[in-house]
Structure 1
Amino acid sequence: MQSSSGGEEIQSIGADFSDLALKPDHIQRPCWVCPDGNIYLEAFHDLYEKAYDFLVAIAEPVARPEFVHQYKLTPYSLYAAVATNIETESIITVLQRLSKNALPKEVKQFVRDCTSKYGKAKLVLKHNKFYVESEFPMVLRELLRDQTIAQARIHEDVEANVDEHGFLTQTKAEEMKENLDMLREPGDGKKQKKPKVVVSFQVDGVKVENVKRQAIELDYPLMEEYDFRNDNINPNVPLFDLKPITRIRRYQERSLAKMFGNGRARSGIIVLPCGAGKTLTGVTAAQTIKKSCVCLATNAVSVLQWKHQFQKWTNIPDDRIAVFTSDQKDKLHPDACVLITTYTMISYNGKRSEQSQKVMDQITGREWGCLLMDEVHVVPAKMFRRVIGSVKAHTRLGLTATLVREDDLISDLNFLIGPKLYEANWMDLTAQGYLANVQCVEVWCPMTGPFMKEYLLASNARLKQLLYVMNPAKLRAVEFLVRFHEARGDKIIVFSDLVYSLKLYAEMLKRPLIYGETPERERQAILGTFRASDALRTICISKVGDTSIDLPEANVIVQVSSHFGSRRQEAQRLGRILRPKSYTQTDGSNKSTFNAFFYTLVSADTQEMFYSAKRQQYLIDQGYTFKIVTNLCEKAAAEAVKHDYAFATPEDDRRILRTVLTSENDLEKVISSPITFPSRVKKSITIFVISV
């Protein structure tokens, strides 16, 4: 690790900390704190829960398997800590209290270096005026030495509550007791603490962006807070309250306590697993602020789901909730409302239709209380970054299950949105019954001789991909798994990124498929039938189903093709079956029984094995284990002959190969070429039709 102030880097190559002296009462303490900034937590310790809440607030989780977790102190994690009012000396004191060994001097120095200026100043919107606020008058004086900030200052005509430097003074907003409990020694809560005073000066709203940029240059990044309760200019959304039936879970409460801990709304990111109720958390945050809200989703299906969730959990009037997509452009209420749209609709910079441009003008010309961003990991992409500048929002909340990207842009979210406010532990929620307990299985499918020969001779990467995805052993394994789980009464999703193979699998299984070109009405009809009827137990979906498709009934995934080594996609797909089932145990014993299954089919001895190992890393870090199965394809081959599978004989395998190799030099033609089935099967295929 390296301090943000350019201090010496702490080397950890081949780190050996066996010489760290343990405290006499080390058994009563749950953590090891190492000089390189790594922290190891015993997940079986009596103090685990309190230690976890603290560590997830100040450090980045690296790996959280069943017994020992690993965390890492980073400049960004410490920035997030001070954003939630955890002070420098409190971090050091609590680490010292939790650590089995004496706190290394390198760690103390690193914490002080990273937090010496972070969190010392905030940008607060109050009574629709912007104030730079701090507990330290010297910090404000230092900021005002900068000419740009000094020119942006507005001197108010107020006589009361002004100190000798002309700064406004007031009592500091109290942090929520829940956020302070982890910092206290037993008995501390009884002590009366003197209220702290904060000082502030007003800045011109037009020059706020310049002030923020200069503050970063001076190493005083301004944390953003919205004093929404004192905003008397922007109207509230009427009747925007939670329904009496709405129940917020404990971990959702904790995440919201980080956002609203001092009575204001902090901008930042909340990380909750798929199926853990991110949508309800976002709805509750918007409802707490009660001002106009823009909710951004990734696609039109997700937009409709968000609208349904707002209507399900709150009493918001129908005329106060609007949808803005390519197919639906509702009228915005002239006062306060909730607008649900997609990133693409906001960030599009081409020529719009007259109706669309009119809505965009209303969006950009209005002040919004909250910008709610679903799947926030997509925001750093160049096109989506425009969203941040297009919507004038007082507070921004990002929601995601997977705060990872395969590029290095994820750290940009700290300044585009705000720091990470809360991250839940997948395994804890599974044990408590809030998530299904998933058995992850990697099935090794041997390549047949002819396919392996062509794979080794192929020089084109796309052709290689076609060959390992269309491996006949995979086809038989998929049909075997689908028949097995349908007989058990399970609901199955077959995933394939490659549309050519998706069509083949759908026709082989005689099940409907959803991909990019599937019309919206047909898509909704298929999903509706899958949710509501036992007549349809299996659907085939391309990568359009990776995010934002809500299928709580699904409990089996069979993944036959994926987007190379994307860790995010692996976690998102697992999330499709993470919702708790009706028979999920909620007494803490849910770890012992599996009630969902995630199969990844991998062609053995191909590039796909490398990609698979990379994809699984994020889930392994969350505590999941993958079981390797090598003999399933043998069972599938035997069943294929016995039960007359679609592809059962060597002749069938050669037919598939000929189809794939028909136009070796024209892969686009291969993708669109017709699927050839054995004649004995072709006659028996019936297309699954759903009226729309």
Structure 2
Amino acid sequence: MTDLSLAEFYDAVEAEGRPLLTAGQFARRVDSSQADADEALARLAADGLLERVDVETDPVVWYPTEWGELASRERVVVFPERREIVVDRPTQYTQARLSQFAHLVDTTGTEPGTRGYLYRIRPEDVWSAPFDGVADLILSMRGVFPRRYEGLEEWVESQWKRANRFRLYTHEDGYVVLAAATDDLLGNVAMEKLDEDAIRAPISDTEAWVNEDAVAGIKRALYEAGYPVVDERDLESGDPIDADLTTDLREYQQSWVDSFLEKQAGVLVGPPGSGKTVAALGALTEVGGETLILVPSRELAGQWREEIERHTTVDPENVGEYHGGRKELRPITIATYQIAGMDRHRKLFDERQWGLIVFDEAHHVPAPVFRQSAALQSKHRLGLTATPVRESDDETDIYTLIGPPLGTDWSALFDAGFVAEPEVELRYLPWDDDMAENEWANADGRERHVLAGTNPRKVEEIERLLDEHDGKALVFVDYLDQGDAVADAIDAAFVSGETPHHRRERLFESFRTGDREALVVSRVGDEGIDLPNAELAVVASGLGGSRRQGAQRAGRTMRPVGRAEVVVLATHGTSEEEFARRQMRHLAEKGVRVHETVVGSADAAEEAAGKDTDGEGADNEATGEADDETDDQVGDDPSVE
């Protein structure tokens, strides 16, 4: 048995589900004696193919020599029974392909440049995969995996079929019917999982008359049971409107529109700057019916009105805004989620026959205050978001309440030059002095987090970054005192929640037009604010926030042309390091390259400068970090804005 090969060792590793094997484990997997396995492992080690590690309290373990060389190249290891994929040093291509059918769970390793990705294929990943058929999905998997895995492919096929086992349709007499592929599915799945008031009466062995008000609950319950529902109801198309698009759509935008029109419902997931709003206007003109656009803020309502005027022939008199400042119900109405979800206003929206409802920043939809507005139904429902991920892990609600995900690989947009791929750097800074570090070390809980976030060294680093970069820059902060300090240091305005609405708009407009080169922005700039052509974004604090927040901030530089750079500042040796990696996880999953730099102390930098070096640590690729949320956040801190 001493002729056992390295390939057999890899097979044993995958079968065992561990990266290291003892001789006993190897012997069991290859059906040999331990003595023969020991001899084979020793031969492979002598040939330089395996390495061994002697552990005092455990047996000797073996691993492939080339795994120690993974810092310079990619390797994909598949564990088919667990439906997991581990990728060390994944290329942008591999990350983009995996994101089509797998979920990024975690990253491994502790040192910059040594981390790898852990992906898992869940049923919902298969159901929402952007392919016309399961054959295309499996071909994409084979293009990434080192070899075929028949059992995994069979499971994927079975999950794909589950996505079409239930459908909702409108009976010729006008009521809504839930149809199942078999009587067993209707009786043992639907009837068992749905609330009592969801079903009005059975019609046949495979069909039931359902309560139209319970449709959202039906979709959710069956989705959670493993059966996403195909919604084919004949919903209202709305009164026709006269609207043509005056802007030519890019090829990928047109594919978004075509896919949406075919499915009639879906969530467009694309990076900031890729033109989701223009694509939505293309869908609006194609649908040609009265349209309700839901947004999270007044600022976005105003921006949508401007975009409609800029890109379509719609008469401005037919466009209205409905929120705390204005109450205009028109053929095209732009309303805030909060207003649309209130009972006294919702009746007005219910009475209107909308041909299209657009859910902008659709990641808000699962939140209770926004969910009420999501119950509004129309024949066409379109969600827009760059970041569907939610820390509460209820992002699947987005797809059950609106529709399946639509979109193009982010990497495809980068490669085609439609969106400037940002250069993302996680920069770890030392403390300004020993006194500051000691204060942090003696603090605990929230106070520690605040001290790390407001490390004075960050102000110096921001000044240096802005001196080195030409063009517009945004600096994001979470603390009011820090925002004031940074604004004073770089001679810029600070926009926070305390900034009056009219002044906020003037500052944003002056930044858009180029009259201002820099702005310091609190959380009010995290999403929904149109701040184009920011060549540099610096995240100074707020690293305890969500992954979505991190992606939104980084996305402020993702525009069609020009250089785009994001620098995330974190205090070295504190929890900010892990928070920073976690916040960038969503971008890394979408194929954006993320690098890490450890900056030396001030004394070391001076000494390095004298030696004609840059005083910084090596630049390494990073991957983001685990997506588990911590309780040590800053949302309730009165100094947070």
Q: Same fold (TM over 0.5)?
A: yes
- Select the residue among 183, 206, 222 that pairs with 2:229: 222
- Select the residue among 255, 265, 268 that pairs with 2:266: 268
Give the structure 2 partner of residue 292 of structure 1. 290
Q: Rate the CA distance shift 1:630–1:95 in 2: closer, same or farther, 3 A.
A: closer
Give the structure 2 partner of residue 576 of structure 1. 556
Q: Rate the CA distance shift 1:435–1:417 in 2: closer, same or farther, 3 A.
A: same
Question: How far did 1:241 drift?
Answer: 1.8
Distance 2:190 2:468 in 1: 72
Distance 1:470 1:208 in 2: 48
Matches within 5 A, 1:322-337: 322-330=320-328, 332-333=329-330, 337=331
Q: Rate the CA distance shift 1:671–1:315 in 2: closer, same or farther, 3 A.
A: closer
Question: How far did 1:77 drift?
Answer: 2.0
Q: Rate the CA distance shift 1:148–1:281 in 2: closer, same or farther, 3 A.
A: same
Q: CA RMSD in A?
A: 4.4
More displaced stretch, 461-470 vs 128-137: 128-137
Matched residue type, 1:558: V
Question: How far did 1:112 drift?
Answer: 4.2
SS of structure 2 residue aligned to 1:501: helix
Question: Gaps spanning 5+ residues in structure 2: where?
Answer: 1-13, 31-74, 108-112, 608-635
Question: How far did 1:529 drift?
Answer: 1.2
Distance 1:202 1:294 in 2: 29
Question: How far did 1:399 drift?
Answer: 1.6
SS of structure 2 residue aligned to 1:294: strand
Question: How far did 1:33 drift?
Answer: 7.0
- Could you give the per-residue CA deviations for residues 177-226 of structure 1, whole angstroms, max 9, x where no partner exists? xxxxxxxxxxxxxxxxxxxxxxx998775675687578669865431146
SS of structure 2 residue aligned to 1:443: strand
Q: Rate the CA distance shift 1:211–1:471 in 2: closer, same or farther, 3 A.
A: closer
Give the structure 1 partner of residue 66 of structure 2. none
CA contact (8 A) 1:294 1:372 kept: yes
Give the structure 2 partner of residue 259 of structure 1. 260
Aligned-residue sequence identity (percent) comes to 25
Matches within 5 A, 1:290-689: 290-330=288-328, 332-333=329-330, 337-348=331-342, 357=344, 359-389=345-375, 391-422=376-407, 424-447=408-431, 448-459=433-444, 461-485=445-469, 488=470, 490-534=471-515, 536-581=516-561, 584=562, 595-621=563-589, 622-631=591-600
Question: Gaps spanning 5+ residues in structure 1: where?
Answer: 1-9, 21-29, 155-164, 168-199, 350-356, 585-594, 639-666, 673-692
Question: How far did 1:634 drift?
Answer: 6.3
Matched residue type, 2:419: L
CA contact (8 A) 2:304 2:334 kept: yes
Distance 2:141 2:450 in 1: 55
CA contact (8 A) 2:216 2:401 kept: no
CA contact (8 A) 2:270 2:276 kept: yes
Question: How far did 1:568 drift?
Answer: 1.5
Give the structure 2 partner of residue 247 of structure 1. 248
Residue 123 in structure 1 maps to residue 168 in structure 2: yes
CA contact (8 A) 1:76 1:419 kept: no
Give the structure 1 partner of residue 53 of structure 2. none
Distance 1:255 1:217 in 2: 27
Q: Rate the CA distance shift 1:630–1:110 in 2: closer, same or farther, 3 A.
A: same
Question: How far did 1:636 drift?
Answer: 9.0
- Select the residue among 121, 125, 140 that pairs with 1:73: 121
TM-score with structure 2 setting the length = 0.71
Matches within 5 A, 1:49-128: 58-60=101-103, 72-81=120-129, 86=133, 90=135, 94=139, 103-124=148-169
Q: Rate the CA distance shift 1:449–1:258 in 2: closer, same or farther, 3 A.
A: same
CA contact (8 A) 1:374 1:400 kept: yes
TM-score with structure 1 setting the length = 0.66
Distance 2:106 2:286 in 1: 33
Distance 1:482 1:617 in 2: 26
SS of structure 2 residue aligned to 1:368: coil
Give the structure 2 partner of residue 185 of structure 1. none
Matched residue type, 1:371: I
Q: Rate the CA distance shift 1:481–1:426 in 2: closer, same or farther, 3 A.
A: same
Matched residue type, 1:284: G
SS of structure 2 residue aligned to 1:240: coil
For this pair of structures, how many residues does the alignment match? 535
